[in-house]
Amino acid sequence: MIKKRGRHAGIPDGQLHAHAMRHLYGTQLAEYGIDILTRQALMGHEKPENTEIYTKLATRQLTRAVAKANPFQDIETPITQLVKKLERKKP
Per-residue pLDDT of 4-40, as tens digits, reads 888 888 888 888 888 888 888 898 898 888 999 999 9
pTM over 0.85: no
Domain ranges of the chain: 2-88
Write down the pLDDT at residue 73.
73
- CA distances (Å), 2 to each of 18, 25, 27, 28, in order? 7, 14, 19, 18
